[in-house]
A and B are shown apart, each in its own frame.
Chain A
Amino acid sequence: MNDEKVLWEDDYYDDDDEDTQKDRFLTFKIGKEEYAVEISCVIEVIGMQKITHVPDMPEFVKGVINLRGQVIPITDIRMRFGLPAREYDDRTCIVVVTVEDTYVGIVVDTVSDVLDMPEETVAPPPKINQKPGSRYIQGLGKVGEDVKIILDVVKLLYEERFEQLPEGIEMEPDDRNLI
């Protein structure tokens, strides 16, 4: 009897694992806004560490850190979104995310929660282009009264590449679409 139950539970959790990945988001705060990223691309959340500055990087790339022998770049999402810089404090965290085996740390003011946001509660991003950061928005998730801004991690990570191109080299519009 007992064995059977354990077996059943295992199965249950296996199924659950896949479900956990889907529609689940890690939310964090930057300024007053709450942002969210898909949990499947989050590797871990670590505290602030000493960042080694790397020259020739756009302002929002703060440098690199050593994560257990692996050197990963750190971006500050505030600068990415054109928000004013803020001193790092105890609550400042680095969210390590991955896309296609590239690890990147994102500095956030504070990590809040892991939430379920089913597809039907997520609205498409607003059409109006107000802030420089709005193109990284994947959608807007509603949880109760709150609205979380869901970020497109791929864009967040990969658009950086092109911003470090020296000025004067114009990107073909086609190329931009490819990203």
Chain B
Amino acid sequence: MGGERKVIDEDVKAFIEESREILEEVEPQIITLGQLLDRNIPADPETINLIFRAFHTIKGTAAFYQFDTVVSITHKAETLLELFRQKDVELNTSCTDLLCKSCDVVEKLFKNIEETGSDDSDEEDVRTISSRLVGLTNLLAGRGGEQNQPETTTIEDDSGAEAETPETKEDITQKNRLFLTEGRPFFEEVLFFAKKIGKTEEEMTILDADNINNATGNLKILAETADFLEFDHVYQIIESLITLLQTVKENEYQIKKPEINVFVYGCNVIDDLLAIIEKEGNDRGHEDQISAVLEAVKNPESLYISDRFAEKRKKRLSRTSARKNAPEDSATTFTITEGMRLTFLNESAEFLDEIEDVFLSIKSDVTDKDYLAEAFRLLHSFKGSCGFMNYGDLERLAHRTETLVEAALDDVMILDHWDLKAIWFVLGVMRDTLGKIERNQGSKILNIAVLEYMLEYISSFPSEQEKYEEMLLPEIKKDRPTEIVLEPSPYENAGDDYETNPQGPKTGNAPEPEERREKGETRRKPDLEIESEDAIISTQDILSRKLERRDIRVSLDKLDELINLIGELVIAENMVIRNPDVVNREFENFEKASIHLSKIVRDLQDVALSVRMIPISGVFRKMIRLVHDLSVKSKKKVGLKLAGEDTEIDKTVAELIADPLVHLVRNAIDHGIHRKKQRNGSNDGNILLEARHEGGEVWIMIKDDGDGLDIQKILQKGIDAGLVSEENKTIMTDQEIIELIFQPGFSTSDSVTSVSGRGVGMDVVKRNIEKIKGHIDINSRPGIGTTFILRIPLTLAIIDGMLVRVGSASYTIPLLSIRESIQVDAQNVVETMDGQEMVRVREELLPVIRLHQLYNLDSDYQELHEGLLVIIEHQRETACLFIDEIIGEQQTVIKGLSGYMENIRGVSGCTILGDGEVSLILDVAGLIKRTYREDIVFHETIGLPAQQ
């Protein structure tokens, strides 16, 4: 059980991830929709469909995992969208806003799920959004009705308790249709559950908690809709069934036979009522049964069970096949992104693999309900995603197969090997179709009608073998327009005699498929194909149709472990190549081998790190929403352009730059861009977000065409806040003044708005960027705009380092921070009166940091011109490090210092050298800051006279 639970947890994780992807895809769509509406461009029905499908998909899966809150919200959003789909009502911006908020809430619920494992939430916004969604739906539905037809009728209410509601007839039918199509899948699952428990003969059974929760969840959704549509009878019964399940839950999942009977009976009554609704548009009738159910819930023993159960089952089955799929509007093509398509293909291939596995197991034990149920579930999911992607043919096939499996589950029929063969065949067709989709050859399935017919035919026969064959043969012969030939695929044992023709099934052949399966032992099923006049598929095609998987899901932990190991490998490599036994000796072959090794290690490192890379588009996409919200809030019309979304960055980096980006974009809109007096239809301002690789760094640019930074204002604020002294203000460069905005608490805003002005934002930006060892450049020109460039190193774990020696100690300096290394002449050294040594390098005067003094070491040299100076740079501030010697350049794997050695001056971490020794990595930014900020403590500790 424990293991199973874990699997479910992982499934849930996958579900959340996928749903997040869907949400991220769909949110910009909603916003675009809203923006188009702003310009009075009517909504594109395809976009609405797309959004609708997204919510639908999430709802479907969420229902499976019993995330009731998610289900209820997505369901409500869906209901709202359905109105627009029916085109009765015009979409307006308040709807798109509400939908955006729904996305937020769903996202929040996902977070809850991740943290607590359940989506129970008492939060205000969940409730608000629910009620707002329902409210808006009601409102629009009402209004839409009026517009369409003023004629009003009243719904007769049997209980008489409800007030009469004026509604149009058309409206009712539309809503009923909605209820029937939407509620069906949920009810179906409940029915399925009822059947399952209905079969127990024992007096007392303990049910699986998951199943009960699932059923309760489904019933709740139904109840909600029924209540909304005022199907009071249905609602009452469902409510009573929920109560029943609740009691069962309280009794630790023990259920007595009479209770089961009541539940099953109740479900059947609902089934009947739904049929009536379908026919007559209301849920009147069956009063006696309804009251029987209501009574029975209170007292389960009182229910008299007629033999209508069996009768029901038959009836339902026939209806299932009669219902078929609602007419496909398969012609609709909406924007399915390439990414979505690939995800779909990969997922579906996975589904098919699993389904095949399950059917393999079924083969060994046809009666095992667990396998059948699993197959049913998988097919259902597969059908769902096909539906979402609008591959109508695939969806239909999957649906048929599902029906067939369901029939087997219901004991209406027993799958024999012929049935299984047919299913295998269909699965093969599905796989081929996926291959076709992958190759962009469309999703049409040839002979779909035949396949459907075949499946339907099988499922409609309660089969004893003889009877089945007897009936199948002539029918198939007569009706089939094409021949179905089962052929071994070229990559299977070619000698295998496996050409079977359904027209001539002999009982003697019965064990053949099993045999084959065992012989082949591979998981692959025989590749099947349809031959007909209009479709002759070449061998080459068959070879290429095998669907290739292009990705797998790997846990981040494993990846990190891999990267850590590669880090160790880099160290080990250094240990070998710089081994004291071989250093300074000439081994030609060793040299060659070690160069080869280094190259491979470096490649390996690149590959491993690239695995952690994700495109920045996810982060950028969030900005679409942000810009939209902010421009609404600030009443400025802001355009957003994205560039270089495919640029890949480390996952950790992606997480850490999200916040800074939010702040920068916010600032741009709040401070940079102002409302224009004359708009002439153009935007008040534009923001460009761009990402690109530049050397060993990723550059992320946030560019606005606003007013630019007001240098004078910043300086004044800086003086007011005591950040700049009066004397300094004249000598500060513009760049220095601009840097002031990063000071915590600094804000040029005279008032704190809801968007910005507290002076926290830029501080956050700086901190986060520094956390990932990045830099920020600002270019600002008055009247033209401001550009922020975030320069972030590609990797975090391994850097290029320069190893330097001071006395007996060695330190590592990140290569990226080193500008150059020089030797100076004695006359270029100046000492200021406060003891700070300065060195003239070309036209610059740079402060010197004597490492041996800083760290209290004995160094070889005391005079600056004797040793070496390494010029280090951090955000345009430069200083010289005085060292004895440069040992060399090497790949440095950054390790943190032990927990309680934090905050060492000028040290950011450590690394392990080739000889196993530990070397400290210098924190260039910290060192420079200390020199420039005239830190009193710093001067004291290194023995320099403190400045006044």
Contact = CB atoms under 8 A, between A and B. Distances in A.
A55 B900 contact: no
A57 interface: yes
Interface in B557-577: 568, 571
B898 A56 contact: no
A53 B857 CA distance: 10
B904 interface: yes
B918 A65 contact: yes
Contacts of A158: 900
B919 A56 contact: no
Nearest to B906: A55
Contacts of A61: 901
Nearest to B904: A56
Given A66-B912, A71-B895, A57 B901 contact: yes
Nearest to B564: A69
Interface string A46-59: 00001011111100
Nearest to B901: A73
Given A50-B917, A52-B918, A64-B898, A69 B855 contact: no
Most chain-A Cβ atoms within 10 A of its Cβ — which of B571, B895, B896? B895
A127 B798 CA distance: 52
Contacts of B896: 71
Interface in B899-923: 899-901, 903-907, 910, 912, 916-920
A38 B159 CA distance: 77
Summarize B's interface: helix, strand, loop or mixed.
mixed
A53 B903 CA distance: 15
Contacts of B897: 54, 64, 71, 73
B854 interface: yes
A54 B904 contact: yes
A72 to B, nearest CB: 6
Nearest to A61: B901
B918 A55 contact: no
B919 A52 contact: yes
B912 A69 contact: yes
Contacts of A66: 912, 916-918
Nearest to B909: A71
Contact of B907 (A55, A69, A104): A55
A91 interface: no
Contacts of A73: 897-898, 900-901
Interface in A65-84: 65-66, 69, 71-73
Contact of A52 (B809, B900, B906): B809
Contacts of B905: 55-56
A102 interface: yes
A70 B576 CA distance: 19
Contact of A53 (B809, B937, B941): B809
Given A52-B918, A64-B910, A71-B918, A102 B904 contact: no
A86 interface: no
A142 to B, nearest CB: 33
A160 interface: yes
Given A66-B912, A69-B571, A71-B912, A52 B917 contact: yes
Given A64-B910, A71-B910, A71-B918, A55 B856 contact: yes
Given A71-B895, A71-B910, A57 B904 contact: yes
A100 to B, nearest CB: 9
A119 to B, nearest CB: 30
A144 interface: no
Nearest to A157: B900
A166 B937 contact: yes
B568 A69 contact: yes
Interface in B875-909: 895-901, 903-907
A136 B604 CA distance: 48
Contacts of A161: 900
Which 9 interchain pairs have the tightest Cβ spacing? A55-B855, A52-B918, A73-B898, A56-B904, A66-B912, A64-B918, A161-B900, A102-B899, A66-B918
Given A54-B904, A66-B918, A73-B900, 7 more contacts: A54-B901, A56-B905, A56-B941, A57-B901, A71-B896, A71-B912, A158-B900
19 contacts: A52-B917, A52-B918, A53-B809, A53-B855, A54-B897, A54-B901, A55-B855, A55-B907, A56-B903, A61-B901, A64-B918, A66-B916, A69-B568, A71-B910, A71-B918, A72-B898, A102-B898, A104-B898, A166-B937
